[in-house]
Structure 1
Amino acid sequence: MPLAQDGFPDSDTDESERGVAGTLKIHAESLTLDNGKLLAATGKNSNNNNQEDQEAATIKLKVSGLTTLDNNSLILADATGVQVKGGNITIEGGFMILFPSDGETGNDIFANAQQGQGGEINITLQGLFGNFTSQQGLTRFNDISAISLTGDLSLFGLLEINSAINPGEDPENLPTSTVDPSQLIVANCPRSGKVAVDQLGEFIVTGRGGLPPSPLDPMNSQSVWVDWRTLNTEEETIEEATSTPTPEVSYLPMRGKRRTANTPTPARRKKKIVEAQGWTVGEDGTIILTAEPNTVTPKSNWYSPRSCGSKG
């Protein structure tokens, strides 16, 4: 696009008697401009046709989903005629993304009313993402600019952006103070009577969910190792060992010959395999399962209960 004297893109539109450019309306679920252009331009004076209230060269976009501008795309509303009312852009909908510029012009949104009323941009979105500037002319950055000229560059247009998510704002500072659990539980002395107890309220533990059955019980893991292999019982192991005789060698006193006698040898008692009852960590970080359960050392309460004196 060639540049006009004021630095805006020149739509090469002159005043003529062929008609007045009206409004370009786009209603869609999504809109993508990839090195694309949306142009609405006119040089016609609408007063010649007694159309004083008609806006010329106006773009209205209503996209419920995502609108993206990439690869030096352009949205331009250009009203260049004498006393031409228009050159406005209205964008409504969901989200808009202006991708970073990788060329000489960037992704731009321009509204221009050179010698008449107009030159306004109104953007109302849930979120507008992308860095942009508000320059009067084309730059290598993303630009969103509105200008209304009276011939001496004295009247600038209106640029209004309403977005629930503004990337230019600083993120909200989250609170850094931690919660003291001791301040969340009231340690009052017990009072007699059902009414007094009901006034204190109650705390009910439903199910397990990592909580002990009783507030006085220590935390204890109930995980069980389920082994689907079939192991021989202790009686079967001893029977198999005793059923295999061990030959015994002896010598005859007269002839010096050997003879063997099958004498049963008592079998050694094998160690019984039991389920793991605990675990520990080795020096190299290896988890070692143990037959004996771990010794649990209960920790002291994190709050000191209030001492209540006895009433005589």
Structure 2
Amino acid sequence: MSNLRWKSNLTVLHFFKQTGLLLVSFCCCTLEAFNLARAQIVPDDTLGITEVSVVTPDTIRGFSANRIEGGAISGENLFHSFREFNVGEGGAVYFTHSAGIENIITRVTGSNLSEIQGTLGVLGNANLFLINPHGIIFGANASLDTRGSFIATTASSLVFGDNLEFSATKPNRLPLLTINTPIGLQFGEAVGNIINQSQILDNMQVMPSQTLALLGGDIVLEGGNLFAPGGIIELGSVANNNFVGLALTPDGLTFDYEGVQNFQNIQLSDEANLTASSPSSISSGEIKIRGRRLIITNESNVSGINFGASSGGDFTLFASEFLEISNNSNLVNQTVSETGGAGEINIETRQLIVRNSSFIRAGTFSAASGGNIIVNAAESILVDGGGGVSQLTTQSFNEGKAGNLQLTTGRLIIDNGGQLTSTTRSSGEGGSLLINASEIVKISGQSSTDEDPSGLFAATRGAGNGGLIKVDTSNLVIEDGSQITVSSTGEGAAGNLEVNTDNLRLDNQGTLTAETTAGKGNITIQAEDIFLRRNSTITTNATGLANGGNISIDTDVIVAAPRENSDIIANALQGSGGQITLTAQGIIGLELRTAEDLERLLGTNNPNNLDPNLLASNDITAFSQFNPEIDQGRVILQTPEVDPSQGLVVLPNEVQDPSELIATTCPADEGNYFAVTGRGGLPEDPREPLIGEVIWLDARDFSEISNNSLSDIGQIAASRPPRKIVEATGWVVDEEGKVVLVAKLPEVMSQGWWHQGTGCNSF
């Protein structure tokens, strides 16, 4: 093939940081080919003179084509070897085979890549392997006409048992009588790329239940389409000197990447499509994608819709560095079958980015269950609307239960209209949102176009009950109008909201909300510290005749900044108010309000206006707005020595004068002293144990501390562990007459040890 130019921009990398995430964008390969002057197909003689491939012009299926016969047969395998292998624009090439052949294995031993611009087919049922280490291009009009599976690869060889290889880089004759089933693909020093530009809707398609696989270096679908109805689509981007296992099963070909140490990149762009949707009664197939950096962008789609009686296939995506779905692109697995559920979507990566109006969706439109979405992202997950709405969502539009959405990561960042949702719109049950982020969950803002808030949402709009939202994280931040909400606007009950965190911060209209028209909708919070600022709320609201949901908060301290209108509300419109149970060591800045309090403070008894949000204070309320005759709800405070109605307590911060406080039972002329320093205050009498009353809040900002500094601190701590210091509550005198301060007095005094009297003259 002459005048072929390969233009690659893979080495151009643009690095930038966004909310702590390192994102890498790359421009994948484009090809320019001119003047295919050489013959399209040139056999070589590496299999022997008597087993050479024979190319014959013919008319096949009513069109001019080349028929390929000959080759070397070993058991169920037919081998072909070519120096050049191409299919011209509008042309067609068909392999033939005799009875009993399961696999047609074709290698290209020359130095040029293969370009498929027409139809590549098999006259029979055999699987077709095309091996060219220098690269393979499927042009805009490329198509497949096979009844078996199709595998295009830029591996250097196909490996069989006993370490035998059918190699394109070292083409020698094989002891064909010993070759049987292939066991894997060996990638050599140089690994070519695979590009698919085939844009005719169903051209690059295999028959139902077959496998369509592209395994090479970088894999690029530039507007290209791949279809495997009810079968398997496999994209594997493998770096050099790696081995991929291969197994032929009744369900198609499967690949094993356990031995792969390094991957390369995969990109779907410009409305590219991978589809495993099933026709009529056949269940939808599987889609498997493995690489280092996986990008699905510019209105590209990976989809499967199940019409079959059994469950649809799963989608499995693995990206060792990151997976990005962006610019109106979608990853969708759904079912319309009455009995066959949708398959799952499984994602494993270091970083997941879903942005700019893109979706990951699992849904059901029937009585069958929707699939789950399971994401394991070791570092981070970013969901960014980018002006619109981006979602990870499970949905039910009929009787079937929606799937669960389960995320495990270090950092979950949701911004600019990003959303995690589970919704039921009919009688099907809603799915659960299960979030586990070891470091932080940060939810911010709303979309700029239609003002949809960022957040986590579990909603029911029909007869089905809503799902659970459960968040486990060290730090939870909800700010700038974002939400975590469980809701019911139909006949079904709302789900519950559970939060387990060390630090919870709601700021600038951030809300935790449970809204219901049909009951339930409870909020449970376990936290060490809770901080409410600038019109933030924790609320369970019931409309119609529904009773208000309950709010249960268990925390060390909850603080609301003064006069910023941050509230905790468990009100109902006409039903009974909910119950608020607040267990805390400290409640600062919040005030209890009854309906009568609001009438007095707002100067109205109009139920429509009895809203604590109309007060600048930070309020706790639980009552029925329109039905004061029924149960008004309850607020239970389990807090020692704290009166929230007093608001913020001003604590002294000056050192007390010990001269006026120390008891005079310690005469100065006896030569003894008892000294206490610091801002924690002094005991008024040495008869009393010294007990600290100051709550310590470590508010230092560690963001500017370098990793080296942290490392040094760790080394010092490891080399010299600190001694534990506790407060003395009494003293004893040993056998030598020495006074020993002790943290706890012995319950049984042995001879020679005793509790000394309270006067200091005994010293």
TM-score, normalization: structure 1? 0.44
The structure that has the greater radius of gyration is 1
The structure with more strand, counted as a fraction of residues: 2
More contact order relative to length (CA 8 Å, sep ≥ 6): 1
TM-score, normalization: structure 2? 0.19
